[in-house]
Structure 1
Amino acid sequence: MEWTIGELVERASAALASGARLNGRVRDVPNERLIRWYSTIGLLDPPSARRGRVALYGRRHLLQLIAVKRRQADGRTIAEIQAELAGAADQVLETIARLPETPAETVAETVATRTPRPRFWAEPPSAPAAPPSAPAGPPPAGTAPLPVPPPVPAAPAAASAPSPAAASPLSAVAGSAPATSTTEEPRPSALPAIVHGVRLATGVTLLLDGGGRTPSPDDLAEIAATSGALLAVLRERGLISPEGRQS
């Protein structure tokens, strides 16, 4: 049995779950970084094999890893554990590791090889195909043959469907010639608006584009009386000529 370093961590964690907890100075669950460090200081053998660039570990590595964690749970230092377990035999590691009777890998293999039970959503087994029926043979002697029903006459093709002219009442009224649609000319949506213009001075015209009434003489006189200030600004800005006279 060979595992990757991640699978070795899972099996060691499952085996240590039922054991005593370690003190606060050490980790009770190993990780991949800790396993590599144990290999560096001699507490864990080198990988037993490689699959490409992936290192593989076996049962002895699992025993070594759990034995180290058990000794740490007893309060031993790393130096003391090195002196005791570096190169120890499998029997010594088995005694210290105290693996459970049903290792995690055995449980995983049992679950993987267990025959799956049928699910309630599985399709029911198909019914067996019916045996082919025997070809019909001549009736036994002394048996009267069954009467054969007379053939049903087919309806004439002319009466099967009404003609389009008879099916449409509009065609009967309007005649045989189909009605043709005529295209109407577009109508203007609105009439053109009337714009009133009031000349304030030479080159200056006020446009009344509001669609209102035509200005009366009183309106024109009032507009002329109040347009002086506007014309003065336009002359000052150079928008109209200085000699532009007010109407």
Structure 2
Amino acid sequence: MEWTIGELAERASAALTPTAQLNGRVRDVPNERLIRWYSTIGLLDPPSARRGRVAMYGRRHLLQLIAVKRRQAEGRTIAEIQAELTGATDQVLESIARLPEPPAEPAVPRTARPRFWAEPPTPAAPPPAAAAAPPPAAAAPSSPPPRPAAPPARAAAAGARPPAASAPSTPPTPTAAPFTPTVPTAPTAAVVHGVRLAAGVTLLLDGGGRAPSPNDLAEIGAASEALLSILREHDLAPPEGKKLP
């Protein structure tokens, strides 16, 4: 059983119950972008097969994806989930993912079950003197269908005159409204926190929340390695170890 990355995301979303509430920093329903990121940091195995340029995924990938979301729902960090689930067996993933059982197939009614009968005897050949039956008479050609009635002619619109235009009314004289000066309001200042991931790459936290703690900075730095690698591959960040002028 193999699925594309879109089908894998749909199956994982259907298996995750809507009652599993996650915190505001965790996405409860996985998508294709999140699946690729999990594969980059080692939480998902590489695709099991490829059909041309399309990557295919199997049941183990579904177990890994749902197990990660279950642990995130319990409040585990990415570093803790990596330490627990990297290289885990299918039995361990089954116990964590708790996939719902597939619906049972409906029972076949007794009247619809096939019955086995004894093979009927071979019919005897007709006697040679039997006369051949005359061919059936050709059916009489059916009469052609009646033609549809012609549509009625359109009524002539001769003599119709456009309605007389009413005389324009005199517009009211506008009155000057009292002038009220507008006082400009000062813009509201917002606090933005920045986290330096590498030389030339800074993460801006524009949520107006608290400043990140040392523990937050350590987890952000560990999770940003995959993002920095992608940025360097596309020349969007300086190479590793290079200092900006």
TM band (smaller chain): 0.3 to 0.5
> Which is richer in helix?
1
Q: TM-score, with normalisation over the residues of structure 2?
A: 0.42
- Which protein is bigger by CA-based radius of gyration? 1
